[in-house]
């Protein structure tokens, strides 16, 4: 690639969100990445600028897609439930699904597609076993609402919430190898905790996982 091709397409308005920065750290420079649910393309822009990544995106909201394409990113309108089956096996080095799995209709199918399409998959989920959730449910007796999951039970897009331990169980059931897992606090900072342990499941607001693709 020529040096020019790594220039900024559009300068980022803000710094990359902390959890996305951790995702970016897991990605080898120069690789091919599909970001499913790429929003306004923050991660893809960052990867393009800093890691020379050949990135693609998929986004449900038309506003997000249009803004990505306007900024020179390769993004299509689509969603994880319906539009992953087109891709051939190992089409990408990494498939990223950030904070979206809980909003899909068939999380296990989506997960299978991620490890089929990608040589690796990077998945992050909000942890419903976070102590704040537990406390709210315990003390208030109502569906918990937090900054990370602010919706009411009746209007939430998050129809398949799970805990870190639930997610790891699903990976085990699907025989998907978890290469790395990271527990994150409210601000997206990594904890120094065993992410498979009960303490991480209590303290972490999110879990971030690097999964091995199916060969």
Partner 1 sequence: MTVIAPPSPLSAPAPADRPGFRLTVTEPLALDSGQSLASYDIAYTTAGTLNAERTNAILICHALTGDQYFAQPHPITGKPGWWDVLVGPGKVLDTDRYFLVCANVLGGCMGSTGPADIDPATGKAWSLSFPVITIGDMVRAQKQLIDHLGIDSLFAVIGGSMGGMQVLQWALSYPDRVFAAVPIATAPRHSAQNIAFHEVGRQAIMADANWCGGDYIAQGLRPERGLAVARMAAHVTYLSEQALHRKFGRNLQNRDAISFGFDADFQVENYLRHQGNSFVDRFDANSYLYITRACDYFDIAAEHGGVLANAFKNTKTRFCSISFTSDWLYPTSENRDIVHALNASAANVSFVEVATDKGHDAFLLDEPEFHATLRGFIEGCAQHRGLNKS
| 74 vs 189 by CB, closer to partner 1 | 74
Q: Which is nearer to partner 1, 70 or 198 (CB)?
A: 70
88 in contact with partner 1 (CB under 8 A):
yes
CB of 10 to partner 1, least distance (A): 9
Name the minimum Å distance from CB 132 to partner 1. 39
Tell me if residue 175 falls in helix, strand or coil. Answer: coil
The least distance separating partner 1 from the CB of residue 98, rounded to whole angstroms, comes to 20
Q: What is the dihedral of CA 162, 167, 173, 179, to 10 degrees?
A: 170
**CB contact set of 127 (below 8 Å; sequence gap of 6+):** 133, 163, 164, 183, 201, 204, 205, 206, 207
Which of helix, strand or coil describes residue 110?
Answer: helix
By the rule CB under 8 A, 96 interacts with partner 1: no
User: Mask 7-36, x = binds partner 1 (CB under 8 A)?
Assistant: x-x---------------------------
Bridge-based pairing state of the strands 118-126 and 92-98: parallel
Rank residues 86 and 172 by Cβ distance to partner 1 and give the closer one: 86
94 touches partner 1 by CB under 8 A: no
H/E run at residue 112: helix 107-117
- Size of the residue set binding partner 1 (CB under 8 A): 27
Stretch of 64-72, 150-158, 175-183, 191-199 contacting partner 1, by CB under 8 A: 64-72
Angle of CA points 96, 153, 130, to nearest 5°? 60
Nearer to partner 1, 68 or 205 (CB): 68
Q: Please give the C-alpha separations between residue 103 and each of 11, 94, 199, in angstroms, as whole numbers.
A: 30, 20, 25
């Amino acid at each position: 690639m020529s040096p020019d091709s790594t220039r900024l397409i559009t300068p980022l308005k803000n710094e990359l969100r902390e959890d996305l920065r951790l995702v970016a750290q897991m990605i080898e420079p120069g690789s091919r990445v599909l970001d499913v649910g790429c929003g306004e393309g923050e991660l893809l822009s960052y990867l393009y600028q800093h890691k020379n990544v050949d990135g693609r995106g998929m986004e449900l909201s038309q506003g997000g897609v249009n803004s990505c394409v306007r900024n020179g990113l390769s993004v299509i309108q689509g969603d994880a439930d319906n539009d992953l089956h087109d891709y051939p096996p190992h089409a990408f080095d990494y498939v990223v699904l950030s904070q979206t799995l809980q909003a899909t209709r068939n999380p296990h199918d989506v997960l299978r597609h991620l490890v089929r399409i990608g040589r690796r998959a990077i998945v992050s989920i909000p942890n419903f076993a976070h102590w704040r959730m537990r406390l709210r449910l315990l003390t208030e007796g109502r569906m918990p609402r937090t900054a990370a999951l602010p919706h009411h039970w009746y209007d939430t897009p998050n129809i398949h919430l799970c805990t870190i331990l639930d997610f790891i169980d699903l990976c085990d059931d699907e025989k998907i190898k978890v290469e790395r897992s990271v527990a994150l606090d409210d601000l997206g900072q990594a904890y120094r905790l065993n992410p498979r342990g009960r303490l991480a499941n209590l303290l972490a607001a999110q879990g971030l996982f690097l999964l091995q693709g199916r060969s």
